[in-house]
Chains A and B, each alone.
Chain A
Amino acid sequence: MTYTKYQEIVKKETPKKKLAQHLLFAFISGGLIATLGELFYNFALNILHFPLEESSFFAGICLVSLASILTMLTFHNDLAQLCGAGMFLPTTGFANSLTSASMEGRSEGLIQGIGASIFSLAGSVICYGILISWYFATIYYLLNLWGINIWA
């Protein structure tokens, strides 16, 4: 049995990816989450009479809390298995990564457990988020020095 022959067999026996189903579920679930966010936003804006900017913060906070509660109740991972990128990409995925990582560290206590592991998955997002924002701030600063104002 040669390795190429083996690879051929594996290729043949591996189940096909259900791409169409995944795309559809991600599209629908992502859309639903966005709609939910929009509802929270309008609720804050029109009923609670928050200012425009604070209303979008409110929507974000609501989605994050909801995702964390779902994670805590262990529903989030089942939903995510079905919805894929639809639940992973919005801010709900970020909230889930923080909550799930800290839940995992619960057994080691507050410092070495929850505190140390909370950013174990989301750490990359935060680290490179800060790095990228620093790069763009530098570019923005240099452009301003040369007298170019991109907002004008």
Chain B
Amino acid sequence: MGINIKLDNCYIYSCGVVATKEEALHLSDYLDIVHDSLFADGKYYVDGEKQMLIEAISFALTKAQLSKDDLDFILGGDLSNQITTSTEIATLFETSYLGLFSACATSVEAINIASIILEGKKAKNILVYTSSNYGVSERQFRYPTTYGIQKKQTCTTTVNGAVAIILSSKKTKIKVSAVTFGRAIDSLSLNVNDMGSLMAIAAFDTLKKHLKASETNCKDYDLILTGDLSKVGISVLKQMLKEEGEDVDNISDAGELIYKDNEKKLAGGSGPACLPLVAFSLIINKMESSEYKKVLLIATGSLHSKVSVAQQHNIPVIAHLLELIKEEEK
């Protein structure tokens, strides 16, 4: 079981998207700022991540023509230990803050919770942000960035970027029409080198749950965008859905899309910012121009730590889902 909630009062008001030039290869027209390196102007990786996050937030606020005081709630998360980056950024505001962690599924988890708060009419404007940085997360989950170990072809590479979204009860073109929260699933595996195919289990589970609850098929959506299943994971998910008789032509993966044709990034991009970087730049633009009308975003996360895997504990995986629809203008 799980919660699937239909919503009627939650709109994407504005978004700020910041990344480095590696991510900008396929998204450059839609990004607000493109940095040359993941350090941005800082000395250490974490400085770069914070700077990008602050820039993304200020872009979102400027586009929405809101000031800091207009925000009623802040939700955020990232991959650093004890989500310190998000929390330190939250200290710049004087609003209630919730720090969230679902690894790479944080973005959709945050939007989902914000949507429910808006639906309950407890707030008017909610700021949601996530960020990720290759250097920071590599340290958290793998080896030092300059360590010379040969990575497997199934490994994913954390994207560098930050996304801030302002959700509002004020009507705009794009509406959050339903959310589905996933369940934590034991992947029965310790394979940290292929998280894509592990997370495919969670994505499959949440997607099936959503389709069942909303009585739809994959065909009913213009696009189903998964978070960071990578080249391997997305083909596993497609195969799994095919077995169940679903149409899989409209499914694609943000991690695969963002580093398309970039062999250095191995199986594709990952990280909490991976899905929103694609979704809230390219996809949102296509929605505004009515190319897509109904879109599902599925953020998948692998909830392990370096220590838990070393202690031989299986990796739990999770996926949260979000349905966006283009509001018809009357």
Contact = CB atoms under 8 A, between A and B. Distances in A.
Given A1-B243, A71-B146, A13 B236 contact: yes
A96 B147 contact: yes
Contact of B154 (A15, A18, A104): A15
Interface in B142-164: 143-151, 153-154
Interface string B187-226: 0100000100100110010000000000000000000000
A95 B49 CA distance: 29
A84 interface: yes
Contact of A12 (B143, B147, B153, B239): B239
Given A77-B148, A79-B148, A6 B46 contact: no
B44 interface: yes
A56 B243 CA distance: 62
Interface in A49-96: 71-72, 74, 76-81, 83-85, 87-88, 92-93, 96
Interface residues of B, number: 30
Given A6-B201, A79-B148, A15 B236 contact: no
A101 B142 CA distance: 12
B240 interface: yes
Nearest to B236: A13
A6 B240 contact: yes
B146 A107 contact: no
Given A6-B201, A6-B240, A76 B144 contact: no
What bracket does the count of chain A residues touching chain B fall in?
35 or more
B105 to A, nearest CB: 20
B232 interface: yes
Interface string A12-44: 111101100010000000000000000000000
Contact of A76 (B146, B194, B201, B244): B146
Contacts of A104: 139, 144-146
A126 to B, nearest CB: 17
Contacts of B149: 77, 80, 88
A78 B46 CA distance: 22
Contacts of A80: 148-150
A15 B154 CA distance: 8
A13 B197 contact: yes
Nearest to A95: B148
Contacts of B147: 77, 96-97, 100-101, 121
Listed residue (A71, A76, A100) with the most chain B CB atoms within 10 angstroms of its CB: A100
A107 B148 contact: no
Contacts of B150: 22, 80-81, 83-85, 88
A6 B236 CA distance: 8
Nearest to A5: B243
Given A77-B148, A96-B147, A100-B145, A1 B244 contact: yes
A58 to B, nearest CB: 23
A151 interface: no
A15 B232 contact: yes
B98 to A, nearest CB: 27
17 contacts: A6-B201, A10-B194, A10-B197, A13-B197, A14-B194, A14-B232, A74-B146, A77-B149, A79-B148, A80-B148, A81-B151, A87-B148, A88-B148, A96-B146, A100-B144, A107-B43, A121-B147
Given A71-B146, A74-B146, 5 more contacts: A76-B146, A76-B148, A80-B150, A84-B150, A106-B44
